Amino acid sequence: MRKFLLSIIDFFYPPFSRWLPLHTFRYLVSGGTTAVSGILSYYIAYNWILEQKSIQVDFPFLPKLITAHSAALIISTFISFIIGFTLNKYLVFTKSNLKGRIQMFRYAAVLTINFGLNFAMLKYMVEGLHFYPSISQAFITLTLSLCSYFLQKHFTFRVKKHP
C-alpha cells in the first residue's frame, strides 16, 4: 500500500521538482490531505452532525454548554490526528529512527499545541470578528500547517544522529 501511494504522489512530482525536494512535496501532499480531511470533517460535523447547534454536556471538567464550532473542532481534530500521523509516519518521515510510540507522543504534543492555538483563533474569528466558522477553520488550518511542518520534521520524526 505504501509503495502504491508513493507511486501516485511521485507521479505528480516532476512539474514541481525544480522548486521542491521530493520529501517536501510528499509532505505537502500528506499535509494537504490531512488539512482537507480536517476541513471536510469540521464542515460535516458542524453542519450535518451538530446541525450548527451547541451541545449540552455533563462532565465536571467541561463547561455545561459547548458551542457547535468548538465541538466540531474536537471531532475534526481526532480525525486529523489519525490521518495525519499515519501519512507522516509511513509516507513522509520514514527515515526517522525514533520508536513509534515516541513519534506518536510527540505528534500528539504538537497536535495539542496546534489544537490550543486553533481553538483560540477560532473563538476569536467566529465570536469576536463574526466570521463564518468553516471559512475561519480553513484559514487557521493553512496557517498552522506551516508551523507544523517544521515541528514534525525537527521534533516528532527527527532522525537521531549517532556519534
* pLDDT tens digits along 116-151: 998 899 889 998 999 988 889 888 888 888 888 888
Question: Of 77, 68, 67, whose CA–CA distance to 49 is shortest?
Answer: 68
pTM, entire model:
0.77
d(CA 39, CA 80): 9
End-to-end CA distance of the chain: 34
* pLDDT tens digits along 85-122: 999 999 888 888 888 899 999 999 998 998 899 889 98
Q: Residue 87 corresponds to which amino acid?
A: L
